[in-house]
Structure 1
Amino acid sequence: MNMLFADTMKKLREEKGLSQNEIAKRMYVTRTAVSRWESGHRLPDAAMITRLSDVLGVDVNILISAAAQSDEIPIVIMVDDNKVFLNDGMPIIEEVIPNAAVIGFTKPSEAVEYAKANRIALAFLDIEMIDVSGLDVCRRLLEINQRTNVVYLTAYRDYSFDAWDTGAIGFMVKPLTADGVKKQLKKLRYPFLTGGEES
């Protein structure tokens, strides 16, 4: 457990008068993720520490110096420009894959930049976004790391044929459900330890 980071984060959050839920919403992570950081059970990675420093309004070096090396855990991202789908979907993913760090992005470009610095185990991508197609984001993620498992999320079944040409492992029609996520985990091309009941 990393209690130095946990205690530092909690102290800074309370000084700002923010709840764990408020931190989670501003960072596009689940409240459970924030709780785990503050309990010392998990450490956020460098990109999340940078986000956290912005939310808390503190020098990033304060948080970095409090953080220590931790065992690598699988990173799962969800990319959807609709904040409602993102905020509803991430807790479901975290419930099914409790061993993972689950991070949300409303901007595909930020997800791609994040993937350049971090090994993504699984990506849930909305297909129809305002600025870019999730199909293109998939291709970009697989250029960065061909071992990334990609599952498409969409409200339109018509995309399913196009989706298979991109190297994705699965396709889900919204809304995202726990059973749907579990079915996709059985199709992983590059399996990882999920920590769920199937592990």
Structure 2
Amino acid sequence: MEKSFTENLKYYRQMQGISQRELAERMNVDRSTIAHWENGDRTPSYSDLGLLAEILETEVSALLTASPNTGRDIIIVVDDEEIALKGAMSVLLTVAPNSEIRGFSRISDAIAFVKQNAESVSVAFLDIEIGTNSGLKLSETLHEISPKTKLIFLTSFPDYALSAWDTEAVSFILKPLKVDSAKKVLEKVSVQ
């Protein structure tokens, strides 16, 4: 199936805050089936598409058409803590309704997405500790791929502030992301 389906499936699943495992349970399939659909290794049946659209609260056509991005700014959030990721995405959906919000719990997925959408990703909210990986290192990689992307660190550890300022970051926010701090930083980087 076209790459747009794989991206859309993942996008709408994340927008609903549903893990691959949860979606698989609701679809009555293995989690690996969802992973194969998102990777483009397999395609769902027509009946599966209908159920996917229902669960993800969208239309089948939205799953099958070009990427949900319609020239809007894209804001990404990278955080391995599901509750923090969902919370930040929810706040950003409220604060920046004209932007597309994408969330990633894995660094490799975020990097792949930015490589494909470098011109559209305007802001990246990055956790500093992402599993055993470093958000500081991720910021360097993202800056190389998309120098115009504004990098903002979102973390529970204020001790990292000095290290964060040694990067290309424009701001540093303590978790959880709140509406006021999100508005303030997005105004600073001219995204609404």
Fold-level similarity (TM above 0.5): yes
CA displacement at 1:152 relative to structure 2 = 0.3
TM-score, normalised by the number of residues in structure 1: 0.65
Contact 1:77 1:102 (8 Å CA) reproduced: yes
Task: Identify if the C-alpha distance between structure 1 residues 25 and 186 changes in structure 2 by more than 3 Å, giving closer, same or farther.
Answer: closer
Task: Identify if the C-alpha distance between structure 1 residues 23 and 182 changes in structure 2 by more than 3 Å, giving closer, same or farther.
Answer: closer
CA displacement at 1:65 relative to structure 2 = 9.7
1:57 corresponds to which letter in structure 2?
Answer: P
Matched residue count:
150
Aligned match of 2:108: 109
2:18 corresponds to which letter in structure 1?
Answer: R
Task: Identify if the C-alpha distance between structure 1 residues 165 and 88 changes in structure 2 by more than 3 Å, giving closer, same or farther.
Answer: same
Deviations 1:110-154 (A, max 9, x none): 101110001311110000121311111111111001000111011
CA displacement at 1:165 relative to structure 2 = 1.1
Q: CA RMSD in A?
A: 3.3
* Aligned ranges 1:85-124 → 2 under 5 Å: 85-119=84-118, 120-124=121-125
Distance 2:143 2:161 in 1: 18
Task: Identify if the C-alpha distance between structure 1 residues 122 and 27 changes in structure 2 by more than 3 Å, giving closer, same or farther.
Answer: farther
Which stretches in structure 2 are left out of the alignment for 5+ residues? 21-36, 47-59
Partner SS, residue 153 of structure 2 = strand
Distance 2:127 2:105 in 1: 10
Deviations 1:2-59 (A, max 9, x none): xxxxxxx9xxx9xxxxxx889722379xxxxxxxxxxxxxxxxxxxxx74989x9358
Contact 1:170 1:187 (8 Å CA) reproduced: no
Partner SS, residue 125 of structure 2 = strand
Which stretches in structure 1 are left out of the alignment for 5+ residues? 1-8, 14-19, 29-49, 195-199
